[in-house]
Structure 1
Amino acid sequence: MLAAADDVVLLAHVNPDADALGSALALGLALHRRGARVHVSFGAPEQPAESLRDLDVADLVVPAAEVPAAPELLVVLDTGSVDRLGSLASRVDGAGTTLVIDHHVSNGGFGTAYYVEPTAEATAVIVLGLLDALGAPVDLPIARCLYAGLVTDTRNFRAASPKTHDMAARLLVAGVDAEAVTRPLLDTHPFSWLAMLSAVLSTATLEPDEARGLGFVWACATTEHIHGGRQEEVESIIDVLRTTAEAEVAMVLKQVGPLRWTASLRSKGRLDVAAAAMAMGGGGHRSASGFTVEATTTDGSDVVADVRRALAAAPLL
């Protein structure tokens, strides 16, 4: 399908991270070079995160409003369910063929063709295999996109298999400057982030008996806390909270509307938080997942109570 396509739209999930957007751009760039008409996009926000913008060397990213309504081939990457496409979910029905490329164990299937590999540490791993099957050269621009996906979804290669380390080495040989790619993704924040982080962490609550007795720590980021903050700064809070020694599971609950909340869940490998997220209407990986819900309280306390129950029923790993 990829080799024959002349008109391709590649979509990442809303608020795309480096794996989602990097995978879409790597595959899109290869197809663009083969002569295909290529658009890369996502449902929200209007622009990619600042730390990801220099990956788009061929100006393939377009606003959601400019995505064709009925592409010949729609490729959806790193997206576990159609609702994660946001305003672009309707493109699934309009496309001639929809190919889903993903590594989320919770992917329930919503396209006409699938390449879902739950054991892959990142969607970038799958895309690199597809590029090889296409005979597409993996040069520096493509390698940078893939490396960005690998470094973020493996938590700087702490959760990478030997095979994935080999892939990273191949990308470094292609010319990737690991420090230059990694620093803006993982190690750079504006000064204002410190105040936001302090405010959100001041709400942190440790519940050592929750999450099947393994410990649960959570914090609440209200609209007041995160007003004006970049999306990537808000998303990085979970990486600080998850370092809590006494908790197996960490959650950051983020207010995105008066009663609407989105959550990031992380585990250290002993509890399946994907199962908990699915019980909340979301999904993801066993150690990293999330969901979005409408609450009945303005402080999100009912959501936290529901998460406690979901964690109590989640399988041990």
Structure 2
Amino acid sequence: MTTSGNAAELDAAVAALTAAGSVTILCHVQPDADTIGSGLALALVLHRRGIPVWVSFAEPAELPASMRSLPGIEHLVPPAEVPHEVDLLVAVDCGSAGRLGALADRLSGAATTMVVDHHRSNTRFGAINVIDPGAESTTSLIARLLDAWGVPIDPEVAHCLYAGLVTDTGSFRWVRPGTHRLAERLLATGIDGAEIARTLLDTHPFDWLPMLSRVLGTARLEPAARGGTGLAYAFVRRDDVTGVRSEEIESVIDIVRTTAEAGVAAVFKESRTIDGRWTVSLRSRDSGPGAHDGVDVAEVATALGGGGHRYAAGYTTDGCPEDVVRALLAALG
């Protein structure tokens, strides 16, 4: 079943949730506030209905510090504690089963599987797929699902939903009609939107500053890339990130993407454990959900074995720095 979130298919998702006697909710590896906020919001609702629920992600070992104050955190369990058999397994904000990492093996033990996601590259790997590439965040789809279920959104649930909304819209830089209405509805529950945004987006340890100094020193500009659109890129080396949290590393792309001379930004992040392996974040500058210009970096990432959104995507690759840059330039065309 594939859906863009219309009423009939949302009803099927609601029916599955209502019928479930136990639920596992899986977030993607290297989780962000959209996947965790979606998972915890849904877990809060299920728990209140007396349904046993587990929320987890495969890696890293700990949740980023910026998300540890989200309501419902008590439902988050280590991967080893995720049941192998469950009535319903829900994957949130995951474009493919591969984004579940080592926890992808739990799919086969679920009587029913559901995917709730807004990535255009989603492979629709669930028995029920609530997919809307036009949605600004997966948390906005969770809000739609709760409405279809007739579940009111209280401050704790709103906090989780707002966390995904504010981060996936880049502090409301990339919006669509209805985005601000949803934000106003969530804020009306009494949550502190400014504090949520500050905790998630504007708080870094001092070690972030010297790390940025080293990483931005590697920045390069390829003005001829993509027919003159331009590519700005930088490298995050293994030695650069000692003592730095994963969210600090992920924040680098949002600085590189501000380059005026480049329509595409990339950050190559060296694996801490596998020599020659890089995780690559791509952004298309000055565009967002609903826009009609800018480079489709999801298409580029998919060609390189990854995926994502039209204006924010990523992939994993192997090779020396020169080779991985050369491969990206070739894919950009």
TM-score range normalised by the length of the shorter chain: over 0.9
How much has 1:212 moved relative to structure 2?
2.8
Cα deviations by residue, 1:232-270 (Å, 9 ceiling, x for unpaired): 000000011100000000000001121211010000231
Specify the SS of the correspondent of 1:6: coil
Cα deviations by residue, 1:169-217 (Å, 9 ceiling, x for unpaired): 0000011101110001111110000000110100000000002310100
What is aligned with 1:306?
A: 327
Code of the residue aligned with 1:273 in structure 2: it is V
Specify every segment of 5 or more residues in structure 2 that has no aligned partner in the other structure, as ranges. Answer: 1-15, 288-293
Does residue 279 of the first structure (1) align with residue 303 of the second (2)? yes
What is aligned with 1:246?
A: 261
How much has 1:162 moved relative to structure 2?
3.0
Task: Measure the CA separation in 1 of the matches of 2:157 and 2:227.
Answer: 43
Q: Is the 8 A contact 1:31 1:38 kept in 2?
A: yes
For 2:88, which of 46, 64, 73 is the aligned residue?
73
Task: Measure the CA separation in 2 of the matches of 1:276 and 1:34.
Answer: 43
Specify the SS of the correspondent of 2:53: strand
Cα deviations by residue, 1:142-185 (Å, 9 ceiling, x for unpaired): 00000000000000011112301100000000111011100011
TM normalised by structure 1 equals: 0.95
What is aligned with 1:197?
A: 212
Deviant stretches of 4+, over 6 Å: none
Specify the SS of the correspondent of 1:89: helix
Q: Is the 8 A contact 1:41 1:62 kept in 2?
A: yes
Cα deviations by residue, 1:2-37 (Å, 9 ceiling, x for unpaired): 121120000110011000100111111111111110
What is aligned with 2:12?
A: none
Code of the residue aligned with 1:115 in structure 2: it is V
What is aligned with 1:228?
A: 243
Change (3 A) 1:290 1:95: same
For 2:315, which of 280, 284, 291 is the aligned residue?
291
Q: Is the 8 A contact 2:234 2:268 kept in 1?
A: yes
Change (3 A) 1:214 1:232: same
Specify every segment of 5 or more residues in structure 1 that has no aligned partner in the other structure, as ranges. Answer: 313-317
> Could you tell which deviates more after superposition, 54-63 or 220-229?
54-63
Task: Measure the CA separation in 1 of the matches of 2:80 and 2:207.
Answer: 31
Task: Measure the CA separation in 2 of the matches of 1:172 and 1:131.
Answer: 17
Code of the residue aligned with 2:58 in structure 1: it is G
> Could you tell which deviates more after superposition, 60-69 or 48-57?
48-57
Task: Measure the CA separation in 2 of the matches of 1:11 and 1:281.
Answer: 22
Q: Is the 8 A contact 2:27 2:91 kept in 1?
A: yes
Code of the residue aligned with 1:118 in structure 2: it is P
Does residue 265 of the first structure (1) align with residue 290 of the second (2)? no
Task: Measure the CA separation in 2 of the matches of 1:99 and 1:274.
Answer: 23
> Could you tell which deviates more after superposition, 134-143 or 166-175?
134-143
Task: Measure the CA separation in 2 of the matches of 1:187 and 1:43.
Answer: 26
Specify the SS of the correspondent of 2:282: strand
For 1:119, which of 125, 134, 142 is the aligned residue?
134
Cα deviations by residue, 1:42-84 (Å, 9 ceiling, x for unpaired): 0101221111011143610001111111211100010111111
Q: Aligned pairs, how many?
A: 309
What is aligned with 1:315?
A: none
Cα deviations by residue, 1:70-125 (Å, 9 ceiling, x for unpaired): 21110001011111111101111221111011000001122211011000010011
Task: Measure the CA separation in 2 of the matches of 1:2 and 1:138.
Answer: 17
Code of the residue aligned with 1:261 in structure 2: it is W
Task: Measure the CA separation in 1 of the matches of 2:79 and 2:284.
Answer: 33
What is aligned with 2:147?
A: 132
TM normalised by structure 2 equals: 0.91
Q: How does 1:136-175 map to 2 (within 5 A)?
A: 136-175=151-190
Task: Measure the CA separation in 1 of the matches of 2:319 and 2:256.
Answer: 25
% identity of equivalent residues: 52
Code of the residue aligned with 1:63 in structure 2: it is P
Specify the SS of the correspondent of 2:69: helix
Q: Is the 8 A contact 1:29 1:58 kept in 2?
A: no
Task: Measure the CA separation in 2 of the matches of 1:58 and 1:184.
Answer: 16
Q: What's the RMSD between the two structures over aligned residues?
A: 1.0
Code of the residue aligned with 1:123 in structure 2: it is T
Code of the residue aligned with 1:255 in structure 2: it is E
Specify the SS of the correspondent of 1:55: coil
Task: Measure the CA separation in 1 of the matches of 2:118 and 2:194.
Answer: 26
Task: Measure the CA separation in 2 of the matches of 1:189 and 1:73.
Answer: 37
Cα deviations by residue, 1:122-148 (Å, 9 ceiling, x for unpaired): 001100011111111211110000000
